[in-house]
Structure 1
Amino acid sequence: MKASDDGKSADIFIYGEITKYAWEEYGEVSSINFKNELDQLGNDVETINLYINSPGGSVFEAMAIIAMLHRHPAKIISHIDGVAASCASVIPMISDKVIMPANSLMMIHHAMTGAWGNAAQLRKAADDVERISQSMCQYYLDKAGDKLDSDTLSGMLEEDTWLTAEQALEYGLCDEIITANNAVAYAFDDKWVKQYKNVPKQLMEQPQVIIPASEMAERQRIAEESKANLSYLSTILGGM
């Protein structure tokens, strides 16, 4: 996360898998590290630019991130820099505005889970994942308004539907399309190819996100400052 010099706006990047056990070195995001950095920004921030390029991941972690953003007083503007897949496509639905470059993608589908146990436990797991899917569906419907009905959405969710920017705009899941960008969509490894259906060929062939050296250096500087600040705070709190 990066705040502007006047503290009135901030940029937040979700570039990687959303997971409970996140390794920031690999671009992963968890609700805990998201909360820690969002708290540092404070509530004086008036506009948050949320940049997403993610294959998705843990729906529970994503729902926690959604709740935090929903509570924050700032105006949220989401930018789908490359791809927003699975639960990463739900996060921008609470935004005041969703912007997609012409070459970006959004993938929507029903929530999935793995289960082990007896018949009663398996039935409970099915009921649980169905309730999660219903909650996610409502976010899409609320964003789309009258451009998308529940029957059409249900059919799209069944098929792991990959939406272009134009299609997302048509269904009300995007508010504005801008010129195609130079960023590369998150490259899907075997884990995601096996888990998701109909993965576009280009996502299996592209390298990881290309970030200019100057931007990478700036992000590294911000990350080091954040770690130093957290370390300092921990020292102070530890002495109280």
Structure 2
Amino acid sequence: MKKFWEMKQSANNANEAEIFIYGDIVRYQWDEQDTTASSFQKDLKALGDSINQINLHVNCPGGAVFEGIAIGNMMKHHKANVTAYVDALAASIASVIVASADKIIMPENSMLMIHNPWMGVRGNAKDFRKAADDLDKIAESSVITYLSKAGAKLTEERIKQIMDDETWLTAKEAQEIGLCDEVMESNQIAACISDELFQKYSNVPEILNQSIDKSKDNEFRKKLIADATQNSALIGTILGGL
């Protein structure tokens, strides 16, 4: 099982680190003690106490809610300033991780996707009622994070409607509601979105469906991997999930 993240100290600045979250956020136990969240925390601690700037790069369709909440809280409470870059997509719980950063930067062709949490349920009517109540409580933790980041630009009523509607936000739309601080020029990597994403969500924008040339996508991914491997200042190994 590969980790879905990669952390590296910047070669140009001993006080700066790069973190990449590429791929599904999974809940996994590598051994008896080492779970996803604890492993992420150990890697974060291994960067050292001198780190005062973290550049968090995200291209992620979402995944395990509680693992994502834990990672977001680690970012929020880290002593370093955290700048999140949405390299392509931050969907579902990945958008909560991004919202935990001090600053969010999005290329103009990247997106956030915000929705209510899901849960697979088996059992009787009582089980389903409890599951619905649990999902409401889980959603509330995301609401708190979004509102904390957006400030006066976003109301609780508005963010709950956004979540109910499974809303896909462009960089400019995210900026309008306080979930993006800076919009930058289009990023080529934003075209690299997995086919698997479209099977998970119901309201994927048509422009994303049309933008992928499947015959070229694999070659593009191979080029990204090759480029990343050569960039020893940022990535020493192929990123999990790319």
TM-score (norm 1): 0.82
Among 179, 189, 207, which residue is 2:185 paired with? 179
Assess, with a 3 A threshold, how the Cα gap between structure 1 residues 186 and 36 changes in structure 2: closer, same or farther: farther
* AA matched with 2:15: K
Among 120, 136, 148, which residue is 1:142 paired with? 148
- Ranked by relative contact order (alpha carbons within 8 Å, sequence separation 6 or more), the top structure is 2
SS for the counterpart of 1:222 is coil
Residue number in structure 2 paired with 1:195: 200
User: 2:193 aligned with 1:216, yes or no?
Assistant: no
TM alignment of 1:59-74, pairs within 5 A? 59-74=65-80
Aligned residues: 218
SS for the counterpart of 2:183 is strand
| Structure 1 residue 107 displacement after superposition | 0.5
Q: Which moved more, 1:5-14 or 1:79-88?
A: 5-14
What CA distance in whole angstroms lies between the structure 2 residues aligned with 1:189 and 1:90? 22
User: 2:57 aligned with 1:57, yes or no?
Assistant: no
Identify unmatched segments of 5+ residues in structure 1.
Answer: 24-28, 225-240
User: 2:109 aligned with 1:103, yes or no?
Assistant: yes
Assess, with a 3 A threshold, how the Cα gap between structure 1 residues 184 and 118 changes in structure 2: closer, same or farther: same
Asked if the contact 1:188–1:203 (Cα under 8 Å) also holds between the matched residues in 2, the reply is no
Identify unmatched segments of 5+ residues in structure 2.
Answer: 1-6
What CA distance in whole angstroms lies between the structure 2 residues aligned with 1:147 and 1:40? 36
Assess, with a 3 A threshold, how the Cα gap between structure 1 residues 185 and 38 changes in structure 2: closer, same or farther: farther
* AA matched with 2:150: A
Residue number in structure 1 paired with 2:26: 19
TM alignment of 1:67-82, pairs within 5 A? 67-82=73-88
Relative to its length, the structure with more helix (as a share) is: 1
SS for the counterpart of 1:116 is coil
Report % sequence identity: 41
CA RMSD after TM alignment: 2.4
Q: Which moved more, 1:113-122 or 1:90-99?
A: 113-122
* AA matched with 1:139: T
| Structure 1 residue 66 displacement after superposition | 1.2
| Structure 1 residue 124 displacement after superposition | 1.5
| Structure 1 residue 22 displacement after superposition | 8.6
